């Protein structure tokens, strides 16, 4: 999915187990395997008994645009899964001289949302419609109005209702509909279930029951009552499970489907399938209430784990859940570092014009740190990083802009500072709804992504934007596939009454170093001054969009 293929496996930061102990873990089935279907890569990560990665495999793939629908074929799904698994098993063989025949626990994850509908013969009725399709605007608006709960276009229920509004013939034949993660899990275990985090991208969740919201289910059934379908929503939607619950076992058929070599034995316990949002939260230890994570790269999103639901509907904010059912508010923005990177590349070109060989890591470090010398509010400068549209501020298209007045303090420090600030401008707009209007309280945000690579700088800017301490782990970014492996491990290894948050704290992240920066009062005040200028200047961006084609 667009907002969660951000994590890359980086095993260098882990304490490595003794090789002989790893071999024992593999032979005795004390491992856990996570496989995640990202938007461009399917990745498998096998962890040992200490939850550190011991082997991995990956398969690259791309979506196709067929008949005005973004999709992946069933063949692409299964060929990709099998190739990914076989490369992981080959990695095990090459590193440890062992043929993988059993696994302690298994889990599957994928891009959230989308639409896969099946008939009574378990045949796919229409090609898989991914999260990327923006073809459900009418359904999204109607359901948001009926539920008084924000239903984005990419949600599964929006796809289903749009198909009903379009009078698509296949709808009357549906006996089951699910997501990509749910589909893979079903075919390998026979169980029609979803983890609660993944389910929260299909249909709204009641955080008290950690199940689909029954009132809204009834409202949907009332909405379609006149269509004459033989089914109600309750009949065709997956069962919801929370992290730690058993979601079935790998069947004989499933084992053969996953491992074409035939070496893998059936009977492996499988955890509830999750979405990439939930695995990202797990992999960054951001599942406890009052915590959150920020991923800042080409795009940027923030997820805040709430203590209670928001007071009203905000179209700028998606409501999902953690893998164990706590409500999560998500602010997602299309633009972050692309314009900033373009300016850095311009400075690279300038230096090379003088015959200077440029080290990009050093260039980023020098320019980012220069921004720390600027005025708190950027000296009156203004920039917009809109390579594409930005729904939070109401733009369907974007035009990167840099603007100043004759009396602005135009120097390199302020220039770099304003581009770092504007990288978080739209995010700040959405987060202000949470933090200032809804009075959401956060103890910490975990930062990861390209913005945080230059030590301290991205953290300092983010802390100023949100007025919350921001932490970055020394081993940040181990991957969503690692996240679902941890959820599989939690299912079979958790102690009595041990929560997911406790398990991550005690069994996974204990001893891992992190650096935390608290917000600086002058920087916070400066960012607030900047965001006022940013909001007032949106008319300039609108004029650019309207005038520059």
Residue 265 predicted with pLDDT over 70: yes
Residue 484 predicted with pLDDT over 60: yes
CA 84 to chain centroid, in Å, comes to 21
Cα–Cα nearest to 62, from 84, 42, 78 = 42
Residue 173 predicted with pLDDT over 60: yes
pLDDT digits (tens, 9 = 90+) for 218-230: 999 999 999 999 9
**Sign of the CA dihedral with 51 first, then 52, 55, and 59 last:** positive
User: If you ran DSSP here, which 8-state letter would residue 272 be given?
Assistant: P
Bin 488: left if φ > 0, else alpha if -120 < ψ < 50, else beta.
Answer: alpha
Q: What is the mean pLDDT of the chain?
A: 93
Strand 327-333 vs strand 239-241: parallel, antiparallel, or unpaired? unpaired
C-beta of residue 318 within 8 angstroms of C-beta of residue 333: no
> What is the predicted pLDDT for the residue at 475?
53
Question: With bands split at pLDDT 50, 70 and 90, how would you rate the model's confidence at 16?
Answer: low
> What is the predicted pLDDT for the residue at 354?
96
pLDDT digits (tens, 9 = 90+) for 385-441: 998 889 889 888 899 999 999 999 999 999 999 999 999 999 999 999 999 999 999
**Sign of the CA dihedral with 428 first, then 433, 434, and 440 last:** positive
C-beta of residue 517 within 8 angstroms of C-beta of residue 459: yes
pTM of the model: 0.85
Lowest average pLDDT, out of 149-163, 170-184, 333-347, 441-455, goes to 441-455
Q: What are phi and psi of 57, to 5 degrees?
A: -155, 155
Tokens at 276, concatenated: 């990439």
The structural domains of the chain, ordered by start, are 1-112+248-284+477-518 (3.30.420.40), 113-178+203-236 (3.30.420.40), 338-427+522-547 (no CATH)
Residue 156 predicted with pLDDT over 90: yes
> Residues 351-372: what's their mean pLDDT?
96
Planar angle of CA 203, 223, 112, nearest 5 degrees? 20
Residue 11 predicted with pLDDT over 80: no
Give CA–CA dist 99/90, Å, rounded: 8
> Residues 263-275: what's their mean pLDDT?
98
Identify the residue whose tokens are 């990327």: 132
> Residues 183-189: what's their mean pLDDT?
98
pLDDT digits (tens, 9 = 90+) for 104-117: 999 999 999 999 99
């Amino acid at each position: 999915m667009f907002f969660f293929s951000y994590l890359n496996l980086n095993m260098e930061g882990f304490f490595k187990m003794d090789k002989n102990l790893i071999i024992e873990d593999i032979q005795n089935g004390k491992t856990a395997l996570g496989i995640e279907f990202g938007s461009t890569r399917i990745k498998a990560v096998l962890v040992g008994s200490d939850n550190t990665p011991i082997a991995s495999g990956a398969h690259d793939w791309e979506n196709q645009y067929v008949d005005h629908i973004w999709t992946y074929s069933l063949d692409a799904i299964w060929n990709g899964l099998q190739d990914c698994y076989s490369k992981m098993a080959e990695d095990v063989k090459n590193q440890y001289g062992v043929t993988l025949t059993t696994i302690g626990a298994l889990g599957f994850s994928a891009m959230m949302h989308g639409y896969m509908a099946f008939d009574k013969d378990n045949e796919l009725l229409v090609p898989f419609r991914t999260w990327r399709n923006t073809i459900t605007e009418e359904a999204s608006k109607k359901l948001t109005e009926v539920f008084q709960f924000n239903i984005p276009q990419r949600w599964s229920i929006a796809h289903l209702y749009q198909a009903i509004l379009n009078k698509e013939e296949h709808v009357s034949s549906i006996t089951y509909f699910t997501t990509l993660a749910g589909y893979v899990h079903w075919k390998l275990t026979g169980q029609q279930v979803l983890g609660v985090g993944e389910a929260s991208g299909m249909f709204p969740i009641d955080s008290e029951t950690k199940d689909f919201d029954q009132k809204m289910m009834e409202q949907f059934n009332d909405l379609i009552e006149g269509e004459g379908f033989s089914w109600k929503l309750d009949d065709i939607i997956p069962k919801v499970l929370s992290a730690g619950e058993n979601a079935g076992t790998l069947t004989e058929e499933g084992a053969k489907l996953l491992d074409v070599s035939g070496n893998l034995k059936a009977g492996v316990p499988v955890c509830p399938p999750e979405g990439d949002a939930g695995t990202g939260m797990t992999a960054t230890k951001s599942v406890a209430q009052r915590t959150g994570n920020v991923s800042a790269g080409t795009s940027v999103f923030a997820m805040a784990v709430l203590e209670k639901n928001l007071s009203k509907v905000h179209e700028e904010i998606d409501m999902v859940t953690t893998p164990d059912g706590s409500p999560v508010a998500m602010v997602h923005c299309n633009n972050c570092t692309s314009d900033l990177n373009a300016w850095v590349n311009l400075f690279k070109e300038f230096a090379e014009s003088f015959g200077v060989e440029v080290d990009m890591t050093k260039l980023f470090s020098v320019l980012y740190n220069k921004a720390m010398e600027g005025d708190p509010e950027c000296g009156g400068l203004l920039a917009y990083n809109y390579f594409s549209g930005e729904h939070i501020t109401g733009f369907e298209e974007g035009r990167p802009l840099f603007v100043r007045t004759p009396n602005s303090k135009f120097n390199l420090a302020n220039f770099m500072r304003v581009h770092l600030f504007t990288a978080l401008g739209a995010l700040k707009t959405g987060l202000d709804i949470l933090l200032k209007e809804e009075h959401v309280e956060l103890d910490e945000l975990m930062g990861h992504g390209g913005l945080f690579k230059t030590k301290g700088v991205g953290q300092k800017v983010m802390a100023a934007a949100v007025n919350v301490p921001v932490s970055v782990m020394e081993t940040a970014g181990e991957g969503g596939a690692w996240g679902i492996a941890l959820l599989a491990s939690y299912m079979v290894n958790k102690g009595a009454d041990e929560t997911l948050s406790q398990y991550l704290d005690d069994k996974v992240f204990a001893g891992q170093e992190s650096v935390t920066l608290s917000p600086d009062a002058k920087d916070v005040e400066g960012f607030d001054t900047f965001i006022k200028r940013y909001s007032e200047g949106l008319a300039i961006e609108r004029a650019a969009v309207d005038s520059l084609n």
